[in-house]
Amino acid sequence: MRRTFALFLLLGLALAQGPAYPENTLGLAYAPDGGRLFLQGSALLPFSPLGIDTGLEAQLLLSSSPEAYALFKANLLPGLVLMDLYTSLGLGLDLRYPLGLHLGPLVSLELPGSALWLYGGAGYQAGLHLAWGAGFRVYLDPVALEVSATDRYPFALSLLYLW
């Protein structure tokens, strides 16, 4: 069982964007390569198995060719501290259309008024697929600005409304 769990942690390291902790957001993301515009949002899920925070994050490409992305995430270790900064470690299931599936961890580091998040790993999308991502989110209540890069797009800017 330990080897299987370690294998999932090593091979299933692909998630979506955003911090490990769930948030309620709604906004737009713009990826300049190809001029892609995404509707983006996230929400806390009402069920918390084992008392952990759970959430859903999603993106929908606003164009004639459909592309969708959803991440079901659980914040497993929300109270870690690294150099006096709060750190969260989460686990999620990344679903994509056209068909794609990834499972793995997401790490976020909370900086004053902002958050840095990272992920990377493997999953399935037309064969074995390596996924990765990094982002920096600045909170200007009630909005947040985010700069990110993932295997789906090399650069994106997001404007999110938080509640």
Q: What are the tens digits of pLDDT across the range 70-80?
A: 988 888 888 89
Q: What are the tens digits of pLDDT across the range 116-153?
A: 998 777 799 999 998 888 999 999 989 999 999 998 89
Q: Which residues contact 32 (CB under 8 A, 6 or more apart)?
A: 155
DSSP H or E run through 7: helix 2-11
Residue that the structure tokens 């998630």 belong to = 15
pTM above threshold 0.85 = no
Domain chopping of the chain, boundaries? 25-161
Q: What are the tens digits of pLDDT across the range 17-67?
A: 567 777 899 999 999 998 999 999 999 998 776 788 899 999 999 988 889
Q: Which residues contact 2 (CB under 8 A, 6 or more apart)?
A: none
pLDDT attached to residue 60: 96
How far apart are the C-alpha atoms of 19 and 145, rounded to whole Å? 13
